[in-house]
Amino acid sequence: MHVPTLSIVGVGLLGGSIALACRQKKLAGRIVGYDPSADALRRAADRGMLDEATDDVCRAVARASLVVFCVPVDRIAEVVGACAEACRPGTLLTDVGSTKTAIVRRLAGRLPPGVNFVGSHPLAGSEKTGPENARADLFEGRLVVLTPVGDPPAAVWTIGDFWRALGARVETMSPEKHDEVLATTSHLPHLVASVLAGVLPLEWKRLTATGFRDTTRLAAGSPELWRAIFLCNQPALLAAVGDFQAHLERFRDALAKGDGERLRLLLEQGKYVRDSLSEP
C-alpha cells in the first residue's frame, strides 16, 4: 500500500493520528492537511505530521490520491460535496464519521465521474481532541467499519487496505446496520455517561472513586461533536435509549419490590455480557 498524496481534511485527533500513523509506516509520499482552524493547522504542523498545511480545502484535495474527511458528522456530506469537483478523476474519498446512513445516502450518485466515496468508521478515539492528542498507534488492533453502497469493488478494497495498513481490522456492513449497532455500542454509552455525570451534585464530587470516573469518562467528550452524532443517528439512538429505559425500569422495579433474586439475575446477566468482552 502506497498513497502518493494523502489529504486530510480536518487535522484533529483522528486526522492527526492518521497523519502520524502514515508517517511512521511510510504509507504516504506526501501529506497535505486542511483545517478551518489556523491554530489547529499550526499545532498539527508543529508535530511534523504535514508536508503542506493549507486553509483552502479545494487546494488541499486537488492533487490527492486519497482524501480522508475528519470533520464533524453533520458537516461531512457538505464538505465532501464542496470538494469533489476539485478532485482529479481516480481520487478516492473516505471519512471517519461515527454515523453513516445520512452521509453515505446523501453522497450516493452525486460525485463527479471517477471520484468515489466509501464511508469508513474507525472504532477508535478518545474524549480528548485536537492534533496535540493524536497518536500513531490509535488504529492499531481497532475495527474499522466500511459502509459501501454500490461503489466499485476496487475502491472498497483500496480503502480497506489503507486501514489495514494502519493496523486496523476491517469489516463491511450497510450504513443502516452500522448506525443501528453503533447507536447501542457507542452513542448510547456516551449519552448514559453524560446523564450520570449530570445527576452528580458538585459538592459530592470528593466522594466519587474510580467507579464513577470510569463510568462517566465519555461525558468529557466534545458536546458539539456528540450533539451532531446524536442528531445524525436520531432514529436508531432513540430506539437504543428506549431499550435502555425499559431495562433500567426492570432494575428499578426489582429494587422497589425488594426482589433480591430478580436483582441478582439482572446483575448476573450484565456481568455475563461484560465478562464476554475481550480487553482492548
Q: Which residues contact 59 (CB under 8 A, 6 or more apart)?
A: 34, 86
Specify which residues 3 forms β-bridges with: 28
The yes or no reply on residue 239 touching a copy of itself (CB under 8 A) is no
Phi-psi region for residue 173, left (φ > 0), alpha (ψ -120 to 50) or beta? beta
The helix (H) or strand (E) run that includes residue 146 is strand 143-146
The yes or no reply on residue 244 touching a copy of itself (CB under 8 A) is yes
CB 45, CB 68: distance < 8 Å: no
Nearer to a copy of itself, 35 or 179 (CB): 179
- Binding residues for a copy of itself restricted to 214-233, rule: CB under 8 A: 214-221, 223-224, 226-227, 230-231
The yes or no reply on residue 6 touching a copy of itself (CB under 8 A) is no
Nearest approach in angstroms of CB 151 to a copy of itself is 21
Nearer to a copy of itself, 83 or 103 (CB): 103
Which strands, in side-by-side order, build the sheet including 120-122?
120-122, 143-146, 169-172
Residue 224's Cβ-count burial label (10 Å; 0-12, 13-18, 19+) is: exposed
Specify which residues 116 forms β-bridges with: 92
Question: By CB under 8 A, which span of 9-17, 36-44, 81-89, 197-205 interacts with a copy of itself?
Answer: 197-205
Q: Which residues contact 212 (CB under 8 A, 6 or more apart)?
A: 196, 200
Nearer to a copy of itself, 7 or 147 (CB): 147
Looking at residue 183, what DSSP letter applies? I
Nearer to a copy of itself, 59 or 164 (CB): 164
Q: Which grid cell is 154?
A: 476496487
Among 3, 84, 124, 134, binds a copy of itself (CB under 8 A): 124
Amino acid at 89: P
The yes or no reply on residue 42 touching a copy of itself (CB under 8 A) is no
Rounded distance between C-alpha atoms, residue 164 and residue 124, angstroms: 14
Among 125, 148, 160, 175, binds a copy of itself (CB under 8 A): 125
Q: Which grid cell is 247?
A: 431495562
- Binding residues for a copy of itself restricted to 128-187, rule: CB under 8 A: 142-143, 145, 171, 181-182, 184-186
Rounded distance between C-alpha atoms, residue 7 and residue 10, angstroms: 9
Question: By CB under 8 A, which span of 55-63, 80-88, 108-116, 204-212 interacts with a copy of itself?
Answer: 204-212
The yes or no reply on residue 211 touching a copy of itself (CB under 8 A) is yes
The yes or no reply on residue 240 touching a copy of itself (CB under 8 A) is yes
Nearest approach in angstroms of CB 118 to a copy of itself is 18
Looking at residue 109, what DSSP letter applies? T
The yes or no reply on residue 255 touching a copy of itself (CB under 8 A) is yes
Nearer to a copy of itself, 108 or 220 (CB): 220
The yes or no reply on residue 120 touching a copy of itself (CB under 8 A) is no
How many residues touch a copy of itself under the rule CB under 8 A: the total is 84
- Binding residues for a copy of itself restricted to 48-77, rule: CB under 8 A: none
Nearer to a copy of itself, 110 or 205 (CB): 205
